Structure formats: structure tokens, C-alpha cells
A and B are shown apart, each in its own frame.
Chain A
Amino acid sequence: MKEINSTAITDAVIKLCAQANYELPEDVLNAVRTAYDKEQEPAKSVLSEIIENAELAAKEQIPLCQDTGTANFFIKLGADVKISGIPLIKAVNKGVSQSYKENYLRKSIVNDPLERKNTQDNTPANIYVEETEGGKIEITFLPKGGGSENASMLAMLAPAAGWQGVKDFVIQVIKQKGANACPPLIVGVGIGGDFSTVAKIAKQTLIRQIGSKNTDVHYNEKEEELLKEINALGIGAMGLGGKTTALAVFIDAKPAHIASLPVAVSIQCHSCRRQTIIL
């Protein structure tokens, strides 16, 4: 057994919230730079602003985007870890509350979807915990803006729809919603599982590095195929037209019911902020 005190978790979360909101991951920045080299005006100017913005935000330690997002956490909890102090979920929310208040991050969460009073500290966070082997805790933070989250969609297809049906749905979502979600996008696709699982796995793919291969060779091919088709739509950076509508497509699939083919499309804007800490 390895004992980890909850204060270490809270401290890690405080750091993650600030760092992720100020510093764009290198793989994302490189993907934007590659797109910049390929594009023409007006997309080129947009991509240039995105690159300049990332450099400025990192240098001045200010938020890349005013929408510092819903605080999403994907946590791998080692089976040999014993957490002392307060429980994990509480420890994470405590870190979010403190960091969003101390680090000039925007508080974007309302208490109730209809009453809509701001909770003033960006809690509660969305926290997904997965048990793994070993004595470590791996915490990945993905602050996600409302604009791109609003562009995400889910469909329960009939099994007969198959891969073509999945692809048609993804393309339909990008056509309908892509321009408003701050492209170039990262498109997370969940296939299978059930209604609730599929949305979660789609979102979780967004923590993958751009340029990383899918561990399943067939899905890797499908990711490349979808990326090509999405970029052929010509929506382009900020919807102003161009070759780069998406920087990456990530797919995750899970076993499904004999009657169901769930598909979820989790849309991520170009400000794909994520950071990981291992305790």
C-alpha cells in the first residue's frame, strides 16, 4: 500500500488548472504551426493569431482563452493507493475552487441549468476515476470551453448503419456545428458502449497527443479516413474557409448491445488545453 495525502492531490490540481489554462501543449501548437504552413489567407492570419496568442499567454501566464472551461479530470487511481485526509473527489474540487479563484481563471459554472446562479469557484468539476494497477495516481486535467462542448452530439444508430452510418453522423455534426466551435478542431469519436459510456469515451479521447496512433490498426485507418473527409469540407480555421477544419480525429470503441450502435462526437476547439501530473 502507498499512502497519498489528499493535500498532495489538491496541490497538484491547483497547479494543473493554472498551467493548463496558460500553456498550450507542444503537440497542439506544432499541429497549428503545420497547418499555418499549408494555409492561405484568411485562414493563415487566423492561425498566426492562434500561435501568437499561445506564445503570449505562456509568457505572461494569462489564460489562452477567456473561457477557462468546465474542469474535466480523468484520473487513474492505482489499486495499491490509500488516500488519507479527505476523499479524492473532495480533494480535486478543493483544488479547482482554490486555483480558479487565485489564478484569475474565469468561473463559468452555474448551480442549476435553469436557475443559473454562478457557483463562483468553477466547481463542481467533472471527475472520471478509473482503477488501475500499482501505487500511483495519474491526474489529467482537460478544461473544456462551452462553445465547443455545445457543438458535441450523440446518436443511437441501428447496427445496420455500420461504419458508413458512423461516418455520416460525424460529418453531419461537423457540417452543422463545426464553424462555431473554433476550428481547427480536435474531433473525439466514441463508438459503442451505451448511451452514457459513448459520450464519456468520446471525450476521453481528447486527452490523446496529436500525432499519436490508435493502438488498434483498423481504427487508426478510420481516424485517418475521417480526418481527410472532414478537411475536405473546407470549413477551415474559424469557419472562414480552408484546408484545415480539424487537426486530428481520435476514435475509441467499446462493446455494445446487439440492438445498438451508439456514436458520440466530442468537439474540441483549437485551444486544446490539457496537462497531466503523476503522484
Chain B
Amino acid sequence: MTISEILSNIENLKAGQKICLSGTIYTARDAAHKRIVDALNKGVKRPFDLKNSALYYCGPSPAKPGKIIGSCGPTTSARMDVFTPQLLEAGVKILIGKGARSKEVCGSIVKNKAVYFAATGGAAALLSKTVVKAEIAAFEDLGAEAVYKLEIKDMPLIVAVDCFGNDIFMRADVNT
């Protein structure tokens, strides 16, 4: 499925459903989240257009010469929970990471008609093969925590929290 197919069919995505995602996504983890939210709070320019965007919680390893990207699996989503509702309010529609989300995030996903996908943590070499193009989009000084704009093709994902708040994780009390 492409990003636009996801956006126009968001109500048809059901928790537990497997999909392969293609399109443009942006990596952002702890430090980048902090900076994006700072930019929102100060009302200054965002590093990329957040409206209808897809965020991938990932800090890739360095690319070997001649390779598009290094290994690039998901990091633990829960660490981003504190920032996520504000980003969803600002227009982010697709979240990709690993592990359970807080009740607040699940509520915000419903409110903003968004979706959270889980990728397989630790399958980073395999996931790097789904990246067809990678460039730094912002915060180059953050190194592995910089924001990368990635073109992906057929990234294997599972719908973890759908836009109705259905959650595939067994417990909703995780907030680490």
C-alpha cells in the first residue's frame, strides 16, 4: 500500500492486519522529536511538512560505501509517547515503530484518525532492503538521530493501533 492509499483508506485498516508500505517516510527518534516539538511550541519552521506525514522511529547505523542506508530497524515507540499527541494534532498521520503505546497516544490516534504500525525490532538488516532512497532532511548534527527522508518499497508492517483505538498489544499499561 502507498501512503496515499493508507490515508484514503484509514478506516479500513484493522489492528492485526499485515501490510507492505511504500512511499516517503521520515525517521525521528528521541532527540529529533524534542526539536520538532520545540519548533511547534515556538511557532517556527518545522524541519519537514508534518501534514499527512509518516514518522518512523529509527536511528540507522552508518551506510557502508555504495549502500543506500545502514541497518534501520524500529526503536521502542513508547519513548516517543510524551511527544506523539502534539505531533498528531499537527497533522502526522502514520506512526511506525515497535512495542505498545500509552493510553494517551491511543486516544490521540483515534481523535486524529491516524494509525500506528509495528515493524519487527531487530530485523534491521532486512528492513534496510526496503529503503530505495535516503537523504538527510534535518538536524544533521544529531548523527544517527538526524531526520532522514526515506523512500521505502514494500516495508512489512502490522497495524498495531488502528484509527478506532484497537490495539494488538496484550497490555495497555506500558509507558517506558
Contacts and interface: CB of A to CB of B under 8 A. Distances in A.
B120 A50 contact: yes
User: Chain A: interface secondary structure?
Assistant: loop
Interface stretch (A131-139, A173-181, A212-220): A173-181
Contacts of B78: 180
A116 interface: yes
Interface string B67-92: 10011110111110000000000000
Given A50-B122, A238-B98, A150 B128 contact: no
Given A49-B126, A63-B70, A108-B144, A179 B99 contact: yes
Counting chain A CB atoms within 10 Å of each CB, the highest count among B63, B77, B126, B168 belongs to: B126
Contacts of B129: 56
A104 B63 contact: yes
B23 interface: no
A66 B158 contact: no
Contacts of B118: 238, 240
Given A67-B75, A182-B98, A240-B168, A177 B174 contact: yes
B143 to A, nearest CB: 5
Given A62-B128, A63-B70, A66-B70, A106 B59 contact: yes
A68 interface: yes
B42 interface: no
A64 B98 contact: no
B61 interface: yes
B100 A64 contact: no
A58 to B, nearest CB: 9
B124 interface: yes
B125 A62 contact: yes
Given A57-B71, A106-B62, A150-B76, A176 B122 contact: no
B143 A64 contact: no
B174 A104 contact: no
A159 interface: no
B76 A66 contact: no
B144 A49 contact: no
A56 B176 contact: no
B125 A63 contact: yes
B165 interface: no
A66 B98 contact: no
B61 A180 contact: no
Nearest to A105: B61
Interface string A40-80: 00100110011011001100101111111000000000000
B39 interface: no
Contacts of A181: 76, 99
Interface in A110-138: 116, 118, 120
Contact of B126 (A52, A116, A145): A52
Given A53-B125, A63-B61, 6 more contacts: A42-B18, A108-B59, A177-B174, A179-B100, A180-B174, A269-B121
21 contacts: A49-B126, A50-B123, A53-B120, A53-B126, A60-B125, A62-B61, A62-B128, A63-B71, A66-B144, A116-B31, A145-B122, A147-B99, A175-B171, A176-B176, A179-B174, A180-B98, A180-B99, A180-B100, A180-B174, A269-B122, A271-B122
